[in-house]
A = this chain, B = another copy of it.
């Protein structure tokens, strides 16, 4: 019997939307972890062994151990995210392993989720839902100030990281009659900032002046634990922190203390350390801390687009062509 053409082997750490997966299956031999839970580290290592391509997501760390286990035949990794902090990019470069990610296609959904967290924390939606369900509505009035929220109009917005997502958030909030939009980062971004009149300031200036501090930067070694006790002290007591970057950018113990003591007003987090956040986390006991389960890019349109792009990245990588959306 003549040799069957050898399809490249792909292991997917998570199941992606079916349309995209079917397209991949036509051209590759695909093994998927199709349970609803994350694979364990061992399951992932075992799954990666001998693969030509891997589909991963932020829960999966790509390091020396993983690359050694996979083997030198590994050509391409596609991460179902724009974030790359779970991947040792330098090592991948060194070993000639291409890495693709999903920039741009998830910008809108993620920005909308960021704005959603700003509005939900400003208007104390979590407390509102609770007050209605617990029958508190009608029993508290507080001089017409019960559950009084914060207005976006007239406020100072501070964006940490005016990248694609940060800019998209700023553009939307610019329609809310805000007082001003500040941003900070390693460098100013005049092309982006000018379109919305955003002002480049230092991190400390942003903390001191902002009513809403929105963390939209990529995570790396230089900003790990950026939001620590000192940062919260510099923030206004009424300020709200929204984090859609990575959990590691915030010192969670310091955040808990700051929220509990009134050092800052409230927080909305789509990302935490770890993920999932354990139900025992003290953050979940605070009425002024709203946590969503890392689903900022999760809309039907965007998830399908992320999947298609990841499949494109994998296929181009396997064929030795430039990736559709390379990380480097």
CA distance A119 to B147 in the complex (A): 19
B284 touches A132 (CB 8 A): yes
A148 touches B291 (CB 8 A): no
Using A80-B144, A122-B116, A307-B144 as known contacts, say yes or no to A132 and B298 having CB atoms under 8 A apart.
no
CA distance A298 to B132 in the complex (A): 15
The answer to whether A24 has its CB under 8 Å from any CB of chain B is no
B36 touches A132 (CB 8 A): no
Write out the residue numbers on chain B whose beta carbons fall within 8 Å of the beta carbon of A223: none
A112 touches B175 (CB 8 A): no
Q: How many copies does the complex hold?
A: 2
A292 touches B129 (CB 8 A): yes
The answer to whether A49 has its CB under 8 Å from any CB of chain B is no
Write out the residue numbers on chain B whose beta carbons fall within 8 Å of the beta carbon of A140: 36
Write out the residue numbers on chain B whose beta carbons fall within 8 Å of the beta carbon of A108: 151, 153, 177
The answer to whether A149 has its CB under 8 Å from any CB of chain B is yes
A131-154 vs B, CB cutoff 8 Å, 1 = contact: the mask equals: 111111111111111111111111
28 contacts between A and B (CB under 8 A): A15-B141, A15-B143, A35-B141, A36-B141, A36-B142, A37-B139, A108-B153, A109-B149, A109-B151, A112-B122, A113-B149, A116-B119, A116-B125, A120-B125, A128-B295, A135-B278, A137-B275, A138-B276, A145-B298, A145-B303, A147-B293, A148-B298, A148-B299, A148-B303, A149-B295, A149-B299, A154-B301, A172-B176
